[in-house]
Amino acid sequence: MPPVIVSNVMLDLVEIFAAATSWQIDEVEQRTLRPLADGSVREVITAAEPGYPVVPRHRTFTFDYGDLESERDRIRLILSAPGRHTLILWLAEHLAWVGDGVRREFLLPNGWQQASDLTAAPTTSSIDTRTTLRHASPTGAPIPATTVDAATYAAGDPPSGEAWALERSSQIKVGDVPGAGAYLYGTVYPVYSVLRVPGAERKHDGPLADPYVLRLQE
């Protein structure tokens, strides 16, 4: 079952019940393809900071609401304040880290936290929304990252075959250190940290409908 829980979008931890007619996530990668004279390509990636996923990406979220209905006030009030907002889509993100044979601690990109740390997953979902890691291969055995508190996290390393995620943080620690050049794959349900893309567009389709395009950028 696809983990699409559109109706459970949470903005600043407030659930928005309005149903979008369409939504879109654009990813901007710091990655280019270099076309060569024979038509082949090579890949160049801006190196991520140590511990972060190999390919740095930033996302733009666009939600097109035909009518905000009862959520009109709630959404507009949240967005009337500036600054970063949190956004939870209960949508899986897929990441890959690369090991160097020493590092066992990795980081979620762009200041993400695990959504399940901040709020309960929607009851309509039957999936496990915790972070799941896989060593070396995307088809490797999944290792659910157990959420631990700061004291436990700092006190030691997870046992072999296990992983810890620090509560309300971006930090993840694995029991088995990935070898140099080996990838660590992860499935994460993140809390995005976003800013509203500026631009005030108000359009009223009739006296009742309040269409709204919500555009947020990581």
Tell me the residue type at 184. L
- Nearest CB to other proteins, comparing residues 43 and 73: 43
Token representation of residue 4: 């699409």
Separation between Cα atoms, residue 166 and residue 131, nearest integer Å: 11
Cβ distance to other proteins smaller for residue 74 or 104: 104
Give the nearer residue to other proteins in terms of CB position, either 4 or 96.
96
Q: At closest approach, how far in Å is the CB of 179 from other proteins?
A: 9
Residue 7 or 110 having the CB closest to other proteins: 110
Nearest-approach distance from CB 138 to other proteins, in angstroms: 15
Smallest separation, CB 186 to other proteins (Å): 15
Cα 8 to Cα 90: distance, rounded to the nearest angstrom: 7
Distances (CA, A) of 7 to 77, 197, 207: 19, 22, 25
Output 40 or 123, the one with its CB closest to other proteins.
40
Identify which of residues 98 and 166 has a Cβ nearer to other proteins in the complex: 98
Per-residue HEC secondary structure of 115-169 comes to HHHHCCCCCCCCCCCCCEEEECCCCCCCEEEEEECHHHHHHCCCCCCCEEEECCC
How many C-beta neighbours within 10 Å does residue 124 have? 9
Are 115 and 189 within 8 A, CB to CB? yes
Minimum Å gap between C-beta 184 and other proteins is 10
Binding site residues, other proteins, CB under 8 A: 30-32, 34-38, 40, 42-49, 54, 98-100, 180-183
> Quick check: 172 and 108 in contact, CB under 8 A?
yes
- Nearest distance in Å: CB 52, other proteins: 11
Tokens in use for 183?
């990838």
Question: What is the C-alpha separation between 191 and 10, in angstroms, rounded?
Answer: 9
Nearest approach in angstroms of CB 75 to other proteins is: 29
